[in-house]
Amino acid sequence: TTSVQVDLQERSYSIWIGTDQWNENLNRSLEAFQPIQHAFLIWDEHLSSIRSAIENSLSVRGVRTQDYRVSSGEGSKSVASLS
């Protein structure tokens, strides 16, 4: 696993690069946001193959989920596309 830090001051974030990173990253994220009871998942068709695994992984931890599918592409990566 390799990580790259994107430095955007208050909007900085890490990108984790490797195979099957979603479960490791999910565990890391859940630890950072404890306690968590509900998650809203926004996904596109590129994540459809692992969406149910993510929901199941959250459910085992007692986290309720709702999900919303968006179109692929940069145009759908905004709050406006969710309304």
Q: Render pLDDT for 1-53 as a digit per residue (tens, 0 to 9).
A: 677 888 888 888 777 676 666 777 777 777 777 788 888 888 888 888 888 88
Q: What is the mean pLDDT of residues 64-76?
A: 84
Residue type, 63: V
Of 14, 44, 42, 46, the C-alpha closest to 28 is 14
Q: What is the pLDDT of residue 1?
A: 66
Residue 47: alpha-carbon gap to chain centroid: 10
- Residue in 11, 79, 75 with CA at minimum distance from that of residue 42: 79
